[in-house]
Structure 1
Amino acid sequence: MAVFTPVSPEAASALLHKLHLGELIELRGIAGGIENTNYFVTCTAGEYVLTLFERLTAEQLPFYLHLMKHLAHAGIPVPDPQADAHGEILHSVCGKPAALVNRLTGHSQLAPQPVHCAAVGGMLARMHLAGRGFDRQQPNLRSLAWWNETAPLVLPELDASEAALLQAELAYQNHVAESPAYAALPRGPVHADLFRDNVMFEGEQLTGFFDFYFAGVDTWLFDLAVCMNDWCVHLPTGAHDARRASALLQAYEAVRPLTAAERGLLPAMARAGALRFWISRLWDWHLPREAEVLTPHDPQHFERVLRQRVAHPLVPSAYASTCLSE
């Protein structure tokens, strides 16, 4: 959610008029994130978020926008893309593909307690099940193929220890991906970036998931692992928090129990989730793009998470037993 492309009030007003949403009251750029240009838009019809897509193409974008529509209509609290008179939800602003979605209420919970993690786990499972009826297909564009392509670009920037970890983990993940157990994992549309700053709460009430622009068809277990790697870790060290992990996992399984294959591969997918974000943060840190508002994330955080996941594998049953013993 950075600002790469400046949007004038006139350009925003033109889109609002096209969508019959009234007059522009305020347009404010959003700092944070690193992929797209984002603005808060206040108009006479309400509060919205305008996104201009800087990397995704007009051919790729319908998957994300129609997935959000599908989930919103299925009762999952996600932003609903606004359509014009012809039903089109992909627009153009300042020469870039763009979307306008309703702004969710609430705030991000950056210091989650087990109750917040349970809410996220239950809603994530509901989202996975709701996605089964979605008929569009697009792979997770930041999955193993992208890791294999991007790792050589960042390796020259790493010290010997970092390079050894990256190469070893990439080899391990390629090995896992070739296994029959991995092929047996349930799949469907996934968020793939469900961090604390992509979920809204009002108190302990979850009010929405947003920022679906890394979504794609992948294993549900990978999505769950990415989520746990952010919601259930001690940020300074990357170590997992057993109480939060137990709350999230139990709430998820109350809606959609994990299969035996998923239980067996949770440790590997937790490592995969950490590797994915370590590589992408290395890429953004060492090969940044120009933007008016841009703060790249420190890649060392997910290096720490990955080292923790290798040294201390995540085992589903351990969360429940640890939580009960406390």
Structure 2
Amino acid sequence: MAVYTQVSAEALTRFLARFDAGELVSAKGIAEGVENSNYLVDTTEARFILTLYEKRVAAGDLPFFLDLLEHLAQHGSPVPPAVPDRDGTTIHELEGRPACLIRFLNGVSVTAPTPEQARAAGAAMGQMHRALEDFGGSRPNTLGVDAWQPLLAKCGRDLDTIAPGLYDDLASGLQAVTAAWPQHGDIRVIHADLFPDNVLMLGDRVTGLIDFYFACTDLRLYDLAIMHTAWSFDARGEAYDGDVGHALLDGYAATFGLADAERAQLPVLCMGACIRFALTRGWDWLNTPADALVTRKDPVAYTRRLAFYRANGAEVFA
């Protein structure tokens, strides 16, 4: 989440007048993330998230995202569907951007997950994947394995202005990953970004899965690999917590299952996840507008993870 587009109180008041959502009390921009403009909105009736879609989120993809959230909500997953206005419309325009009013879910995002919290989060992903078995929607993964080499080329040697040797580290890792990438597997819609900040918790209980705007059709196990890279390390990618990593996999296995052959694929999938996030973080680092209210994320934290999986992946998932 982030704020690229400023919304005045007057414009937001007019926007809320379309809904049975009460009158505006307060609105605060949310700085975390890099994709959309987000506001925490309090009214006399409830609390909401206002999202204005920009950058990588195409307006034509919004019906897919909203159908996905509605499907998951109907199947018992703790997700926040969009709020319809009095005419039943969920996709609007505000300040020249597509916009939705989203239900607010209680809970907090943990920054240092415990094994118990990781187990619950892994179980929630497994339940989500179960719920998506009969989801009919589809969306290509525009940030999948075929996009990484072109993105590396677009970033180029400017990556080395972020950290010396960053370009070569990613180029070497990318060559190894593409040569070993699975050609077959269970393909379905995945979240593709289930970091700790996209999971809301109260204690050890998951209360919300949020921010589905990278959701796409890809290898189901790649979703689990992304989650493993995000949950099992400290923020700098320097320290791997094996207890958290194993608990995450145990939680997933308990609700979906995880065969030995699937575990054997996880090292290369985790390496791929590291390359994907290092590249997109690198691109955002080089191209984020100077006046954007946004917290840039360090791509080197993911090249450190990449080095760990290259050296230890077989042992981690044995």
Paired residue secondary structure (1:250): helix
2:147 matched to which residue of 1? 146
Number of residues of Structure 1 aligned to a counterpart in Structure 2: 314
Q: Is the 8 A contact 1:31 1:294 kept in 2?
A: yes
CA–CA separation in structure 2 for the residues paired with 1:53 and 1:243: 37
Moved more, 138-147 or 229-238: 229-238
Indicate how the Cα distance of structure 1 residues 107 and 46 shifts in structure 2: closer, same or farther if over 3 A, else same: same
Stretches of structure 2 lacking an aligned partner (at least 5 in a row): none
Cα gap change, 1:61/1:291 in structure 2, threshold over 3 Å: closer, same or farther?
Answer: farther
Structure 2 Cα separation of the partners of residues 122 and 156 of structure 1: 40
Following superposition, the deviation at residue 78 of structure 1 comes to: 0.9
Specify the alignment match of 2:68 in structure 1: 67
Superposed CA deviations along residues 251-302 of structure 1, whole A, max 9, x for unmatched, are 1111111245422211000101111100011101122234441221111111
The alpha carbon displacement at 1:232 in A equals 1.2
Q: Could you tell me which of 140, 156, 163 is aligned with 2:167? A: 163
Matched with 2:58 is: 57
Asked if 2 retains the 8 angstrom alpha-carbon contact of 1:266 and 1:315, the reply is: no
Does structure 1 residue 123 correspond to structure 2 residue 127?
Answer: no
1:221 aligns with 2:246: no
- 2:265 match: 265
Deviations 1:1-54 (A, max 9, x none): 211110112222222221221211111111111111000011122110001011
TM-score normalised by L of structure 2: 0.93
Cα 1:260–1:203 change in 2 (3 A) is closer
Contact in 1 for aligned 2:166/2:300 (Cα 8 Å): no
The residue matched to 2:217 in structure 1 has which SS? strand
> Is the deviation greater in 129-138 or in 156-165?
156-165
Residues 238 and 143 of structure 1, relative CA distance in 2, 3 Å threshold: farther
- What is the CA–CA distance in structure 1 between the aligned matches of 2:251 and 2:218, rounded to whole Å? 21
TM superposition shift of 1:88: 2.6
Q: How does 1:19-30 map to 2 (within 5 A)?
A: 19-30=19-30
Asked if residue 112 in structure 1 is aligned to residue 113 in structure 2, the reply is yes
What is the CA-CA distance between 1:152 and the residue it aligns to? 0.6
Q: Which amino acid aligns with 2:74?
A: H
Residue deviations 1:74-112 (CA, integer Å, cap 9, x gap): 110011111123433211111101111111101111111
CA contact (8 A) 2:264 2:314 kept: no
Q: CA RMSD in A?
A: 1.7
Does the 8 Å contact 1:199/1:208 carry over to 2?
yes
Give aligned-pair identity as a percent: 36
User: In the TM superposition, what whole-angstrom CA distance separates every residue of 1:62-84 from its partner, at most 9, and x where no partner exists?
Assistant: 11121111111111001111112
Whether the aligned pair in 1 keeps the contact of 2:267 and 2:317 (CA below 8 Å) is: no
Contact 1:229–1:240 at 8 Å: present in 2 too? no
AA at the equivalent of 1:101: I
Query: Partners of 1:152 and 1:183 in 2: how far apart?
Result: 24
Instruction: Describe the superposition over 1:146-205 as per-residue Cα deviations: whole angstroms up to 9, x where unpaired.
Output: 21221112221134732222112222332234xxxx233112111111111111111222
Whole-angstrom CA distance in 2 between matches of 1:202 and 1:92: 33
Q: Which range moves more in the overlay, 167-176 or 304-313?
A: 167-176
CA contact (8 A) 1:65 1:81 kept: yes
1:121-169 alpha-carbon deviations (Å, 9 max, x no partner): 0000000111122211101222123212211122211347322221122
- Provide the C-alpha distance between the structure 2 equivalents of 1:127 and 1:39, rounded to a whole number of angstroms: 26
Deviation at 1:317, TM superposition (A): 5.0
1:274-313 equivalences in 2 (<5 Å): 274-313=274-313
AA aligned to 2:243 is R
- Aligned-partner SS, 1:284: helix
Q: Which residue of 1 aligns with 2:180?
A: 176
**Relative to structure 1, is the Cα distance of residues 137 and 86 closer, same or farther in structure 2, using a 3 angstrom cutoff?**
farther
Q: Which residue of 2 aligns with 1:32?
A: 32
CA distance in 2, matches of 1:205, 1:306: 30
Distance 1:79 1:200 in 2: 11
- TM norm structure 1: 0.91
Q: What are the within-5 Å matches in structure 2 for residues 191-270 of structure 1?
A: 191-270=191-270
Aligned position for 2:134: 133
| Counterpart-to-counterpart distance in 2, 1:128 and 1:229 | 18
Provide the rounded CA distance (Å) in 2 between the counterparts of 1:314 and 1:200: 31
